[in-house]
A and B are shown apart, each in its own frame.
Chain A
Amino acid sequence: MRISRRVALALPAAFLAFTLGAANAQGMKVKIGTEGAYPPFNNLTSDGKLEGFDIDIARALCEEMKAECEFVTQDWDGIIPALQAGKFDAIIASMSINEDRKKEVDFTDKYYNTPPAIVVPKDSDIKGVTKEDLAGKTIGAQGSTTHSTYAEKTFTDSDVKLYPTSEEYKLDIINGRLDAVIDDVVVLDEFLKTDDGACCKIAGTLTPIEEIYGPGIGIAVRKGDNDLREKLNAAIKAIRENGKYKEINEKHFSFDVYGD
């Protein structure tokens, strides 16, 4: 009795394992983590769907790798620990390749690189974007980003305020609590195009410091996951060459975001 029950349980288990194995062999499954609060790179539409440059690039890469991809949204603060904990396999969320992060995750080659910029209200008396120009001012940035690190290291005479997502610092520059905000030029440019963004203008772009910003924006994978990293690198190369990247670039921006 006892033995036969065990056999009865083991048979479907073996069958399940076999079919799962077969499905695995057919196509690669990749879970992609993204933030979903960083327009125009990755954000949720009003009906809850992901859109943006990162998302389109991710879809193109998956198509290139013949992988079945699934998106997972995750708060920016916890996005690296979630990758390490296996909630997803790759982060495609406009993450700069920098030294601090390289200690925790591996990066692919860059898939775009745009400079940071500073936005100020239209009637602001801020003339430029140097430390002196911003002395005594309140600057907003999204926390745990390269931009916040840059702001805290560079604008030591200013009050740097850190926000959970880009949405909140936008609210605070509109209502006048902030004198300036720092973020990627493309993100800020997109914000200025909206009705809310009518308050503000770009004061100038900054020269990214290699030490903080690294060579650009890459895809993060778990340390040692070389298989996926190499496949992604090959896919980035392929979409750069076959024109798919150019198509996505043109869909979103009027200029080249890849950099040189």
Chain B
Amino acid sequence: MTAAPGSLTPAERPPVQKAPWTHQRTLGVVLLCIWAALALAVAAFMVESWNPTLFERYAPRYMSGLWITIQLVVLSVIFGALLSIPIAYGRMSENRFLSALAYAYVYFFRGTPLLAQTFLIYYGLGSFRPELQAIGLWSFFRDAWNCALFAFTLNTAAYQAEILRGAIGSVGRGQWEAASALGIPKLLAIRKIIIPQAMIVALRPYGNEVILMIKGSAIVAIITVFDLMGETRRAYSQTFDFQTYIWAALIYLALVELLRNLIDLIEKRITRHLKR
């Protein structure tokens, strides 16, 4: 192939403009340097305060705490997802009684702190022991772990129901109408047509909800379940060493980062028909 006559040679390219040092740019670079210095300071602190005996003593505890956190979040998000289906159905129902009931549920659980809900379920229900024993529920509520799982499930179900309702609402009416015009049964239409489209909208909010649950679960130590944060506080109260908290922060960060990547993967998978 020969170059066409009159084509531009590299020497004739317009000169590259140097980006001017505007105020914004200077500020951006300075801020970036501050962040980098902070990250370096934390890293230096961790290296300098590295203490093998401390690590030996607390690493297994952190791991057991992390395992508790993961179990609690995974189980409560799954149970919450199941519970959110009837609630979302209630919220979208034309039956006024059902819709009011679902509205009240969501209103209460989104409007009050998770801390208060957990406290009330554990200590509050604890004071009704004779009544709970009479109906055979005490053996469930006696255990702190069950109470934590129960409270977290109820809480996340309210949020997930709203995510689900919003996502289903975002699928155009035309989709429902087309499905029914083709004679597709309603349940099949929901499963094969509505939900796959709704999930694209719902995925990011679901991801947010799981991340919030991971961090929200840090309150569970008030009812004696020692999760990652509980173990951190215990380690700190015995060592008075701030690196205990930095370790916890790094573990939470890693957990959230892992989850973020997982959600990116899922998004790629469920939106593959939109890619060219």
Contacts and interface: CB of A to CB of B under 8 A. Distances in A.
B240 A81 contact: yes
A161 B224 contact: yes
A164 B142 CA distance: 18
A164 B118 CA distance: 14
Interface stretch (A170-178, A202-210, A238-246, A249-257): A170-178
A171 B123 contact: yes
Nearest to A176: B129
A171 B126 contact: yes
A80 interface: yes
A77 interface: yes
A159 B233 CA distance: 19
Interface string B170-214: 000000000000000000000000000000000000000000000
B221 interface: yes
A164 B129 CA distance: 22
A81 B244 CA distance: 13
B237 interface: yes
Contacts of A163: 224
Interface string B64-80: 00000000000000000
A144 B129 contact: no
A164 B126 contact: no
Residue among B222, B236, B238, B240 with the highest chain A CB neighbour number at 10 A: B240
A100 interface: yes
Contact of A143 (B127, B233, B240): B233
B240 A172 contact: no
Interface residues of B, number: 16
A247 B137 CA distance: 51
Contacts of A144: 233-234, 237-238
Contact of B129 (A77, A103, A143, A175): A175
Contacts of A143: 233-234, 237
Chain B binding surface SS class: helix
B222 A168 contact: yes
State which size class the interface on A falls in. 20 to 34
A81 to B, nearest CB: 7
A64 interface: no
Contacts of A149: 238
A100 B126 contact: no
B129 A162 contact: no
B154 to A, nearest CB: 20
A51 interface: no
A176 B123 CA distance: 11
Interface string B85-128: 00000000000000000000000000000000000000100110
Interface of B: 123, 126-127, 129, 142, 144, 221-222, 224, 226, 233-234, 236-238, 240
16 contacts: A77-B233, A143-B234, A143-B237, A144-B237, A149-B238, A162-B221, A162-B224, A163-B224, A164-B221, A164-B222, A168-B123, A171-B123, A172-B224, A175-B126, A175-B129, A177-B126
- Nearest 10 interchain pairs by C-beta: A144-B237, A175-B126, A161-B224, A104-B240, A175-B129, A171-B123, A164-B222, A177-B142, A175-B127, A176-B129
Given A77-B236, A100-B238, A161-B224, 16 more contacts: A77-B237, A81-B240, A100-B240, A103-B240, A143-B233, A144-B233, A144-B238, A161-B144, A168-B123, A168-B222, A171-B126, A171-B127, A172-B126, A175-B126, A175-B127, A177-B142
